[in-house]
Structure 1
Amino acid sequence: MTIDATRRQLALGMAALAAVPAFVGAQSGSARATVLKAGDQKGGLRALLEAADELKGLNYEIQWAEFPAAAPLAEALNAEAVDLGPIGDAPLIFALANGVRIKAFAVNRSDPYGTAVLVRPDSPLKTAADLKGRRIGTNRGSIGHFIALKALASAGLQPDADTFRFLPPPDAKLALTQGAIDAWATWEPYTAMAETAGQARVLVSGRGLSSGLSFLAATDSALAHKRAALQDFAQRVVRAQKWSYRHVPEFAASLARIIGIAPDAARLQFERRRQQWIAADAQVLADQQRTADFFLEAGLLKQRLDVRPTFDGGFVPA
């Protein structure tokens, strides 16, 4: 993605932040009430909390800003335009390598099947080896970028100067359907949306290639000054996640309505992810370090990133 494209997406997210009214808790009538500026990707986090009725009884306000991908969300975190947001393992590494002052304070692991390389249903491509010499669309530094590189490496292939077209998800999807690219490396809910609409099929899934890790990341400033609100927010997300798996039909319908996708796509991407919030244990650190080292070996990081200082271990899911 170009710098101008990233800035345009950041501007859209900032416009959303200004346009969306705050959710006000029961004790937030005071002008001194804490305001938590929450970034979101494709509305998934907000939809989860709304569906599980976890946005009631707050003693702080939440202002939401929605972003189409992790790169503009990371830009907003860097500018302290938002306090926190969900971010995948690969984009977190790129953000930290670029000097963004954030830490992961909550950890999520899910089935990475939907982080995948997609092709058109009628594509002649059948395996990762068939990606040789092909054009792949994805976001630079995204989990899609990571899975494309891993898919190529699994087949003994190396990307060249013509391999990638760095595009945001809507543009990459259009490019795939129009034949401007041969494959699209993306993530949920985009994978499920394309599959259920008959626009794409999975060529290479993330299983065996991706750790399935994603995080809630917050700015250093928010962790220092809004820690209680962040802790409460994270616990609400954990409770909402547990609720969602006990109420799959209701949540899938609510998710489809809130984020504006087809109900069958909402349910597919939700059910197969099987998300769990976990502690930032030694296995999490090891998996994240392997991802960072892979990017270094691929020449996408200038120096090794030690992931240990990038975690705030104070949050443990109840």
Structure 2
Amino acid sequence: MKIGVHPSNLHLRIAQVWPDAFAALDGEFVTYREGRDTGRLIAEGKIDFGGTGSTPPITAALDGLKVKYIAASAPRPANGAILVRADSPIKTIPDLKHRRIGLVDGSFQTYYLARNLEEAGLNLADIERVEPEVNDALPALLDGRVDAWIAMAPRLENALERDDIRLLSRCGSTIPNRSLFWTLEDSGLDAETRLKIAQELARIGSEITADPHQAARRLVESGATEASLQGWEKVIASRDFTVIQADDTILTEQQTEAEVLHRHGHFDRLAQIYPQAA
């Protein structure tokens, strides 16, 4: 079984370096650049499943791929925030109108932004979405190439330690902000195998929760340079690594997101996520 791993999915990054992870499923970890490539890589047979935020599987469905949801993390209210410069005139979400927002467009960050704007009576069309390179996002905010930046762990925690950065909005309950683990119907992972994947993700998650220091150490030793050992341990210890099998609640959340992003014009048509065949 080929398990896709990219830098933004912390659960699978740790699983990749965790003792005996997916051994019973003959798991082989395949590294790739970013979550938005997941659907394509499954379709090409390069991976069998991956983990992303909530938006890529909806995009895959709209691209004509038959998405199968395997499992989902607990909500992650702390892993996402809108940041501005400390001296920025932007004080509230309505102040984002006509501003340049740095984000990974087509990730959960687009949905998070859309919901924030919607609550303020705005639309995605009212702002300009800009996508800096990952390592250039903070410099882009500091030098004014973007007016606000949507950040996630561990760069979020690193940025919040600075005096020249100010928090505008935390993810909180704005969106569920889960990691979703999914595949495609054509990948050949039957219902029994998908259940075993969900159970293994849950097992690994419970072990990570029991020993965040070991998880952080293994990440750093594998070359995860985005944070220090202490920084990674703080991120891991503060996160709920619970994983559940995908159920009606997850599919309903996905359908809601599809409707919101269609309403905002991010998607040109409405994806039908729910119900999903077994």
- Under a length normalisation based on structure 1, what TM-score does the superposition of the two structures give? 0.75
Q: Secondary structure at the match of 1:287?
A: helix
Q: Which runs of 5+ in 1 are unaligned?
A: 1-35, 313-318
Deviations 1:142-169 (A, max 9, x none): 1111111222222222233761113443
- Would the aligned equivalents of 1:37 and 1:84 in 2 still touch at CA under 8 Å? yes
Q: 1:133 to 1:64 in 2, by over 3 A?
A: same
Q: 1:46 to 1:106 in 2, by over 3 A?
A: closer
Equivalenced residue count is 275
In structure 2, the partner of 1:31 is none
**Residue 297, structure 1, aligned to residue 251, structure 2:** no
Cα offset, 1:240, TM superposition: 1.2
The one of 271, 292, 310 equivalent to 2:237 is 271
**Residue 60, structure 1, aligned to residue 43, structure 2:** no
Amino acid at match of 1:137: G
Equivalent runs, 1:18-29 vs 2, <5 Å: none
In structure 1, the partner of 2:10 is 44
- Under a length normalisation based on structure 2, what TM-score does the superposition of the two structures give? 0.85
Amino acid at match of 1:286: T
Q: Secondary structure at the match of 1:160?
A: helix
Cα offset, 1:309, TM superposition: 4.8
Q: 1 or 2 for the larger relative contact order (CA 8 Å, sep ≥6)?
A: 2
Amino acid at match of 1:143: F
- Would the aligned equivalents of 2:12 and 2:51 in 1 still touch at CA under 8 Å? no
In structure 1, the partner of 2:119 is 154
Q: 1:280 to 1:269 in 2, by over 3 A?
A: same
Q: Give percent identity, aligned residues only.
A: 23
Equivalent runs, 1:42-191 vs 2, <5 Å: 42=7, 44-50=10-16, 52-55=18-21, 57-58=23-24, 60-67=26-33, 69-160=34-125, 163-191=128-156
Q: 1:60 to 1:183 in 2, by over 3 A?
A: same
- Would the aligned equivalents of 1:44 and 1:255 in 2 still touch at CA under 8 Å? no
In structure 1, the partner of 2:199 is 235
RMSD: 2.8
Cα offset, 1:231, TM superposition: 4.4
Deviations 1:79-111 (A, max 9, x none): 332211101112221221122333211121222
Task: Give distance in 2, aligned partners of 1:226 and 1:60.
Answer: 16
- Would the aligned equivalents of 2:252 and 2:274 in 1 still touch at CA under 8 Å? no
- Would the aligned equivalents of 1:48 and 1:241 in 2 still touch at CA under 8 Å? no
Task: Give distance in 2, aligned partners of 1:311 and 1:137.
Answer: 37
- Would the aligned equivalents of 2:208 and 2:241 in 1 still touch at CA under 8 Å? no
Task: Give distance in 1, aligned partners of 2:209 and 2:150.
Answer: 27
Task: Give distance in 1, aligned partners of 2:241 and 2:277.
Answer: 19
Q: Which runs of 5+ in 2 are unaligned?
A: none
Q: Secondary structure at the match of 1:119?
A: strand
Q: 1:198 to 1:218 in 2, by over 3 A?
A: farther
Task: Give distance in 2, aligned partners of 1:267 and 1:216.
Answer: 23
